Structure formats: C-alpha cells, structure tokens
Amino acid sequence: MLVEIGHILPYAVLFSLPLALLGVLLLRRSSDGSLARAMTVLAIVPVVATIGGVLAVSGFMFTPILMTTLLVCVLVALVTVPAAVLSGRALARRSVWEREARERERAAEASRRELVAWISHDLRTPLAGIRAMAEALADGVVARPDEVTDYAGRISAEAEALSGMVDDLFELSRITAGALRLTLSDVPLADVVSGVVAAEAAVASRKGVVLRADAATWPVVLGSDPELARVVRNLLSNAIRHTPPDGTVAVRVDVDGPSALLRVDDACGGIPDTDLPRVFDVAFRGAPHRRPVGGGLGLAIARGLVEAHRGTITALNHGPGCRFEVRLPLTAADRP
C-alpha cells in the first residue's frame, strides 16, 4: 500500500500542483475585482487540481473507474460553483452595505460634533448677555425703574431664545431617534396657515417685510395640527429672516393631484446651486450671509416633520429669492 502511494504521489503532485498554483495566481488577480469572481475561482481550483491529479495517476487511461471519478468531480463543480457565486454576491452586498453604513455613521458623527460645537457657541451669547444684565441688576449698576424694566425685558427675550433652541434640539432628537409619534386627523390648511401668518406678522412688520398668503383652494390634509403649524412657522421664520426690508414673503396653497402643495417664496437673493441640496441638513448653515440665528435647526426639523407625514419638501431658486415647496397627502374626501 505504501509502495503504491509512493508511486502515484509524484504524478499527482506533478499535475495538480501547477493547476493549484495557476488557481492561486488567478485568485490574486481577481482579489481586486468582484468578490463573486474570487469565490468562483476559489471553488473551481480544488476541483480542477483534483481532476488533474486523477488523470495523471490513471495515466490518462479512461477506464470506467476514472470516468466515474471524473463524473463525480464534475457534479461537485456543478454544485460548488453556483454556491460560490451566490455566496460571493451575498458577501459583496453585505460588504458594500457595511461600508456604506460605516460611512453614514462617520458622517453622522461628524455632523453631531459640528452641531454640538455650533450650539455651544450659540448658547454662550445669550447666556453671557443674561449673566451680564443680571450682575448689573444685582450690583445696583442699573437703578432707574425704566432701565430695570428694559433689562428685565431683554433678559426675558434672551431666555425665550434659549428656550426655543432647547425645544428645537428636543424636537430634532425625537425625529432622528425615530421617537416621533403623530396622531393624524383631518387638518384644514387654512387654519394652520392663517394662524402662523398672524403670529409671524408682527416680526415681519418690525423688519419691514410684506407677508401675504393666498390660495386657489384651501385643502384638507391628513396630518397633525401642531407639527404642521411648526413646519409652516419654521419656513416663514426662515423666509422673513433672510428677506431684506421692503421685500415680500408669500405663502400660497394649492392642490396638485393627490397632494396639497404649500409654497413659501422669499426675496433672499437666491442660494448657490451647490448649497440647495444641503439646506435641510442638520449641520449645514451655508454662506456666512445666510447663516441663521440660533442653532439653525428650523429647516432640518421642517423636513423631518414633513417626512413623518409621508410628504416631501424641496428648495429651489425662484424669482428674487428661494421657494420652499411642501407636498402633503390629501384626505380621502379631497382627493380628485
């Protein structure tokens, strides 16, 4: 038995080893390409090397035993090669998914760090003002009643700004964590828009901005009243902030197929085309002249709330400024 093994071993090695080395070479060349191709080569090489070794040992005499052995090798190849291809494709998809997930995680982490840095910076300004005014009141530097009243009003305004920033952070954390739960009902957009316009009219008037709203029809949408009001308020606040005095901010509501279409036009002078796709990003503030007051989370929150309603929100340059378009699903009764 040992004599027979010693006799056939050199032939088996002589014929199978070159095939194995060729397979290794092919495997190395395919390592930079498709993972499925690499897995296919990895499955074929042992089978081909085995066939080469069997042929060498048999002396290329095609006996019934050799034919049976070759048939078994072919059947093994027919099973292992498709399995290797499928496994390679699955591994490739998983690798791509994991790589994209890591990239998204790194981008989100960088965005969070940048956001925390900006929020920390923006919190310092009102806090420093409140501290300075409180110290002035405590030390008696401000004593006249009219000055005390003025300082109290300014402290209240700064505290209100801080409260708004905290509310924005809380709302954004709910959206990004997937913890936002909406109670949907029929919401007339006329009530939402008129209420927000009335609330923002004083801010627009103080800045000298004309604020108007109209509609071809006032549809009813399926949504949550407080969240929809916040979307409109954030869009109007952003538009008024970036519109110069004597400019106009216009709100228009219409129906477009199965959706209600709400447009907010401002006179900001436009946004660079490269910035338009990013205006709703959490950690994006754009050019210095467009950087918002506070944390700059209004548009990011608006997008999150609109998407929670299964709607869409987009930004584009239009006329003397920008247009923000919100599409929301109509109620079944209002659909054409």
Write the CATH number for 144: 1.10.287.130
- Does residue 24 sit in the same domain as residue 67? yes
Dist CA 264 CA 204 (whole Å): 14
In a domain, 148, yes or no: yes
39: tokens are 């897995």
Do 270 and 231 fall within a single domain?
yes
Co-location of 46 and 117 in the same domain: no
Q: Which two tokens stand for residue 24?
A: 């290794």
Query: Residue 292's pLDDT is what?
Result: 46
Number of domains in the chain: 3
Q: Are residues 218 and 313 in the same domain?
A: yes
pLDDT at residue 312 in the model: 93
| Structural domain includes residue 334 | no
Final residue in a domain of this structure, among 122, 142, 176: 176
* Residue 259 and residue 145 share a domain: no
335 lies in some domain: no
Pair 169, 192 in one domain: no
CATH code, domain with 218? 3.30.565.10
Contact 262, 328 (CB under 8 A): yes
* Same domain for 157 and 67: no
Look at residue 264 in the predicted model and tell me its pLDDT. 94
Residue-by-residue DSSP string for 172-196: HHHHHTT------EEEEHHHHHHHH
The answer to whether position 39 is within a domain reads yes
| 321 part of a folded domain | yes
Pull the structure tokens for residue 78.
Answer: 């027919």
Q: Which of 49, 67, 99 is the last residue of a domain?
A: 99
pLDDT tens by residue, the chain, 336 residues: 443 444 455 645 555 556 556 666 665 665 555 666 666 666 666 766 666 666 666 666 666 776 777 677 777 667 776 776 677 667 667 776 777 778 877 876 776 676 677 667 667 777 888 888 888 888 877 778 888 888 888 888 888 878 877 777 777 777 776 767 778 889 999 999 999 998 888 889 989 999 999 887 888 898 888 889 999 999 998 899 899 998 999 999 998 888 899 999 999 888 888 888 888 877 565 554 444 444 467 888 889 899 888 999 999 998 888 999 999 998 876 666
Residues 171, 189, single domain; the answer is: no
302 and 234 in contact (C-beta within 8 Å)? yes
Shared-domain flag, residues 171 and 95: no
207 and 306 inside one domain: yes
Residue at 292 is within a domain: yes
* Residue 203, domain extent: 185-329
Is residue 129 in a domain? yes
Same domain, 67 and 128: no
Same domain, 220 and 245: yes
Q: What is the pTM of this model?
A: 0.60
Q: Domain ends where: 44, 74, 99?
A: 99
Helix residue ranges per DSSP H, the chain? 2-30, 35-58, 64-138, 145-176, 189-207, 225-242, 298-308
